[in-house]
A and B are shown apart, each in its own frame.
Chain A
Amino acid sequence: MTASVTASVTDKLTPQQAGTRAHAVLDEIERAVVGKRSALELVMLGVLAGGHVLIEDLPGLGKTLLARSFATVLGLDFRRIQFTPDLLPSDVTGAPFYDQRSGEMVFRPGPVFAHLLLADEINRTPPKTQAALLEAMAEAQVSTDGVTRPLPKPFVVIATNNPIEYEGTYALPEAQLDRFLLRVRMGYLPVAEEAAMLRRRLDRDTPEAVLNTLSNPGEVVAMRDALEQVEVNDDLVDYVVALVDATRRHAQIQVGASPRGGLALVQLARARAVMAGRDYVIPEDVKAVALPALAHRVTLKPELWVRRISADDVIAGLVQSVPTPQTTPVPAQGGARDPHAPHSVGA
């Protein structure tokens, strides 16, 4: 990587600069995680949009490697929790212990006090421990013994979830699923890519590729701030609302997406615009992130379980039916609304 990428952190990045750096980071990660560019881009969108990412797929597809590579290349402080059935909330958040020398109770921070937390196999721990992450994820803070401690910035949780096992697992409650900005599925590599992956391993003498650190926490925060300069047209806000509303009216969906789902959609669309070097969102951005942003937030009607219809299928169909904004903007009514006025959307 060129030195220009690791240039000094500026206080403010333009969306174009942020997009360039994000792509450089992805190129570096792709040296370790082969052939998963789309999944990597989605995780990057989650990091840029300031959210948490749930990676759901079968074992052995590189979920943990992906999370570790992100931490290394982004230069973030990385911790990993392997969730087990006997893990306690205090094992996640930290707990006070008695200091014999001072005779006081001293708080020992848990692994959650990190920039990037990999919650590996999060569905293997009971909901009590899963819930310990709720406050940390939503508020970026931990409250223990009546004291609230802020977590470092940026704080990103990348959780992995194994969808096929039922024995000894605890499905994530809907409230916790909603805390994740997006859900990513990795999927198998195409045969040619898999051969390339094996070839890379054979050509390399080490078990894993050694990645360079191209960024730092300050720059990640600056990249996130660049999202605020991305404008969202009123028609696109209406489109996002129409999409979210359609999930609530759909015949096969019991509980539709929450307002948080709409916010996630807007922020992810902005992040995608940044990745494309634009400072405005287009309908393609919204449509591309609708499935990862909404599919895990809806609850299907129970009878669909029998017909093997997944939320992904329903959301994919819904995205193909909700009208996108018209080609020519609707003229402002009575001059009250300028069709080109930027719309500020904050999370």
Chain B
Amino acid sequence: MSGDRQPAGLQPCTKCDKAGRHLTRYGGLWQGVPKQLALWGTPVARGSDNPRVAARLAAALGAAVVLGVAAVAMNAARGTALAGEGPAKGTWVLLALGVIVVGWTLAVQVRRRQERLTGGGTPAQSRIASLVLPGFILMGLATVVGVTILGTRSVQLPPPPQPNQGVAVGPPTGVGRTPTELPSVASAGPSNSTQNSSPINFQDVLIGFLVLLGVALVVLLAVVLSRWLIARQRAGAAGEGAVDGGLDDGTGDALAGAVQAGREALADDPDPRTAIIACYAAMEKSLAGGGVSRRTADTPTELLQRAAEAGLVQGRAAQTLTDLFGEARYSTHPMGEHQRDQARAALESIGAHLTAAGAAADARFGVREEVEI
């Protein structure tokens, strides 16, 4: 193949490296079609890119919100130094320390959970877990920065030079202040912050913050609770399929009865085919009596496998009976007397083994289910 047939327009798209593919897939008319247009016209590709786009969108939105909050905080703190004399002056360090301590505790806990999850959790769980730690760090940082800046807010309100002149209401004029003036302002700050006409009421912000925190906690609790409930339901559903039962007091009788029923079926039924099916049904019943019953989606081989794993059957006898059953049940061959004899021998062997295994299985299994034959 010569390379000159390679269409020149099939350059990779700058966003997803697929434009050439999209164009060719949807009609092959790549010439003169803008790459982005081709990109928009591809529902399949859009479907596969959706999660990535959503993640980018969410990240961009988050960054915008954080920038906005930072801008508002900076605006509020206009003209003040970071170590100002706002209402949280003196306490914001404590607050920051508290946030760091709480954040650190949470982070350590999350880290431990992540370590436990390694290899054991689902992909979704591990993805969520990997996001939690950076999330805590980001939240802690945002809280500390926000509180720090808000703490400097009301320093603009009191008049800088003379504390005894009362509160001057006007535009913030903190530019000319010198560090030596700060202590006097600090004494006036806290008393004024509660009664002046501050554009941002610290109390309101704090209450809003707490309300948001409460809502977030409630949502988190709801999510965790619902996930736990779903997980429990699933575990319950998975457990429903379990059929390993126990050997109760009547087990010996049940086994003997089932084997006897098989013998009678083999002896009485004139048609070897029907006799073999009845005989297999008897074996199935005796297996159920021994603690391994047939699930609805089981094939005879799967049932046999589970019975062998449980130690209920051994050797070729059960396999022979299963093979004979398959032929009797799903073919139209004429079934002969020698096959009936084979089935009889297999049943006797299984019966002997089951009786011997009964006592041993009693200790291992708990619940027994009804068999569906």
Residues in A lying within 8 Å of B, measured CB to CB: 84-88, 91, 126-128, 166-167, 169-170, 173, 231, 233, 235-236, 278-284, 287, 302, 305-308, 319-329, 340-342
Total of A-B residue pairs, C-beta within 8 Å:
103
Q: Which of A87, A91, A170, A308 contacts B25 (CB 8 A)?
A: A170
> A127-B24, A128-B24 known; A323 and B297 CB under 8 Å?
yes
Q: Which of A88, A166, A167, A329 contacts B5 (CB 8 A)?
A: A88
Across the interface, do B48 and A305 meet the contact criterion of CB distance under 8 Å? yes
Which parts of B275-296 form the interface with A (CB within 8 Å)? Answer: 277-278, 280-281, 284, 294, 296
Q: What's the dominant secondary structure at chain B's contact region?
A: helix
- Cα of A169 to Cα of B21 in the assembled complex, Å: 8
Q: Could you say which residues of chain A place their CB within 8 Å of the CB of B2?
A: 86
Q: What's the dominant secondary structure at chain A's contact region?
A: loop
Q: Could you say which residues of chain A place their CB within 8 Å of the CB of B179?
A: none
Bitwise interface map of B from 1 to 42 toward A, beta carbon under 8 Å scored 1, else 0: 111011000101000011001001100100000000000000
Q: Please count how many residues in chain B sit with their CB below 8 Å of the partner chain's CB atoms.
A: 42
* Min CB gap A173→B, angstroms: 8
Decide if B123 is an interface residue (CB 8 Å cutoff): yes
Across the interface, do A329 and B277 meet the contact criterion of CB distance under 8 Å? yes
Across the interface, do B24 and A86 meet the contact criterion of CB distance under 8 Å? no
Decide if B51 is an interface residue (CB 8 Å cutoff): yes
- Cα of A111 to Cα of B281 in the assembled complex, Å: 55
Q: Could you say which residues of chain A place their CB within 8 Å of the CB of B332?
A: 231, 280, 340-342
- Cα of A128 to Cα of B124 in the assembled complex, Å: 38
Across the interface, do A327 and B373 meet the contact criterion of CB distance under 8 Å? yes
* Min CB gap B105→A, angstroms: 31
Q: Could you say which residues of chain A place their CB within 8 Å of the CB of B5?
A: 86, 88
- Cα of A137 to Cα of B17 in the assembled complex, Å: 31
Decide if B301 is an interface residue (CB 8 Å cutoff): yes
Q: Could you say which residues of chain B place their CB within 8 Å of the CB of A283?
A: 299-300, 330
- Cα of A332 to Cα of B146 in the assembled complex, Å: 79
Decide if B327 is an interface residue (CB 8 Å cutoff): yes
Across the interface, do B299 and A282 meet the contact criterion of CB distance under 8 Å? yes
- Cα of A236 to Cα of B327 in the assembled complex, Å: 13
Decide if B178 is an interface residue (CB 8 Å cutoff): no
* Min CB gap B162→A, angstroms: 65
Across the interface, do A319 and B300 meet the contact criterion of CB distance under 8 Å? no
Kindly list 4 other residue pairs between chains A and B, CB separation below 8 angstroms, not including A86-B5, A284-B299.
A86-B2, A282-B326, A324-B299, A329-B329
Decide if B239 is an interface residue (CB 8 Å cutoff): no
Decide if B298 is an interface residue (CB 8 Å cutoff): yes
Q: Could you say which residues of chain B place their CB within 8 Å of the CB of A233?
A: 329-331
Closest 3 CB pairs of A and B: A280-B331, A323-B296, A283-B299
